[in-house]
Structure 1
């Protein structure tokens, strides 16, 4: 039994495609936001981007088993469907469009549909979290998924690429929107749309939206933040973003990549020491990684590389070096919660990140 909703909900590919065919006849553009539910302001910001640019907006809610390793949190991942549908029902945006007479008029757009498929619908051959036991067709973006997040989660991007390909095939979006918080995922999916010659969406219509953050702590919004205790959320979790900012300052000052990473590591270590030296609830803070990677290949930058050298290499290669981008990202455990974050050193527009 589905919770009540003011937005049409489609639980099967067949029912959604019937609706999509009618939309296609009207030549209306369809924006798409893929989610795993437990919606927050970050998801809603993606929805608003879609509402602003498209006639219709579709959001999917599907917790994808294929991107969770056997030891990860599939069973406990937050599932808040009634609340999610309430949030989507309240989502709206006033936009100015041309009417049939060519005159400008202001209209209010709201989400047009929610695609809520079941696991058997998305994986007809069945699905296991153990890759060695999986059967059926999967999508693997070779050579780009073992760095950064792929070092810790080696099967993650295979699961993401597979489910997003399925979602794109089902939804047939004109445009789609992903958050910068998952920058490696977004760039890999853009590459995938190009490699597979997808038309819905085309690579240039896969948009990356800046990370939504808590207004005071600057913590990147994430569904997994629900796992954090109040103490962890207030005192420990924001240190990852602060560490990345410390590294940015060193990069802008001309220090080497190794020095920038060390400064970020030092801030995390100092935070951990402070948290464990005060009385009260003990916070277990453990860094997974902090690293700088090239956005085209995800290769790690050399230890001695500086901003000046990085930008001069682009000029020598015939490209503009001004603002040449670097992904500066990190992951850490706060208690039982694994958090990720990133900032772009250089000009984010060079990676197609929206303003």
Structure 2
């Protein structure tokens, strides 16, 4: 495993690897997993998928300041380089790109990549400017690594949709590969921010996945269930936990993120549906979701 901290070095190395493969008459497939570090089994699952699909696996670790709002947790976002390197080695990563903020943004950036409409809802509404920071840094990383495939966890389903739209609109030559949410045995979705939770708060946080399962059950089993019914079930369950404060609880089409009329029966919606929630547990904001297809709904 090789660790690079400078853009020019990782580019030169990847260029040399591709040239060497071409001289041997083969095409080198590169898989890329962009992260903000503090790696867990959710990230490991992305790396395993990349390892299975590609000849070379590149992992980036960069806590991106421009996707954090002025009162968010950039400074205290969890970091553990030793743990990250150990997990990367365990999963057979070939290259780790570990740039500094100054390396990625040597001067204040005057160019930002913005995806319209998809970023107006859910986390985009709750965190203004967040997705501009995400799409800007992801576009930079994709330009640096130039992978064949890039892997993103479905826990942030909106991010997956936004990045896929950016890649499509800008004709980027990369396949975006969404990967399933990885959960603890009790259902809690893995997140680097889970470390903020006290033991009591962690127990309270289980209401999020429980509420999504129950909302999904209503969607699948109740013939006349409407979008409004799904959201009502989601809200009712979350509000049953005193420590939980809802940021949003919604059902939308996926991946367009278009709204669904409240009176519309779920079974009448074509394609995929996203049931998503963002919930404050104490001072920690957690997101989770389920995606279902109407084919599986009565």
Partner of 2:62: 62
Contact 1:36–1:61 (Cα < 8 Å) also in 2: yes
**Does residue 12 of the first structure (1) align with residue 33 of the second (2)?**
no
Contact 1:30–1:54 (Cα < 8 Å) also in 2: yes
Deviation (angstroms), 1:296: 4.0
- Structure label with greater radius of gyration: 1
Deviation (angstroms), 1:348: 10
Partner of 1:345: 292
Separation in 2, partners of 1:221, 1:33: 16
- For structure 1, the residue ranges without an aligned partner over 5 or more in a row are 1-6, 92-109, 127-134, 273-283, 312-323, 350-355
Pair 8,347 (structure 1): closer, same or farther in 2 beyond 3 Å: farther
Separation in 2, partners of 1:270, 1:184: 26
Contact 2:5–2:99 (Cα < 8 Å) also in 1: yes
Aligned to 1:168, which of 126, 137, 142? 142
Pair 348,171 (structure 1): closer, same or farther in 2 beyond 3 Å: farther
Q: Deviations over 1:150-176 (max 9, x none)?
A: 110111110000000000000111111
Aligned to 1:295, which of 234, 251, 254? 254
**Does residue 195 of the first structure (1) align with residue 142 of the second (2)?**
no
Separation in 2, partners of 1:296, 1:20: 32
Contact 2:62–2:98 (Cα < 8 Å) also in 1: yes
TM-score of the pair, normalised by structure 2: 0.93
Aligned to 1:119, which of 88, 92, 101? 101
The two structures, once aligned, show a CA RMSD in angstroms of 1.5
Contact 2:230–2:251 (Cα < 8 Å) also in 1: no
Partner of 2:24: none
Q: Deviations over 1:107-159 (max 9, x none)?
A: xxx21100011111111223xxxxxxxx4111001122111111101111100
Deviation (angstroms), 1:209: 0.4
TM-score of the pair, normalised by structure 1: 0.79
Separation in 1, partners of 2:163, 2:110: 21
- TM alignment of 1:9-48, pairs within 5 A: 9-25=3-19, 26=21, 27-48=27-48
Aligned residues, how many?
288
Partner of 1:106: none
Contact 1:212–1:220 (Cα < 8 Å) also in 2: yes
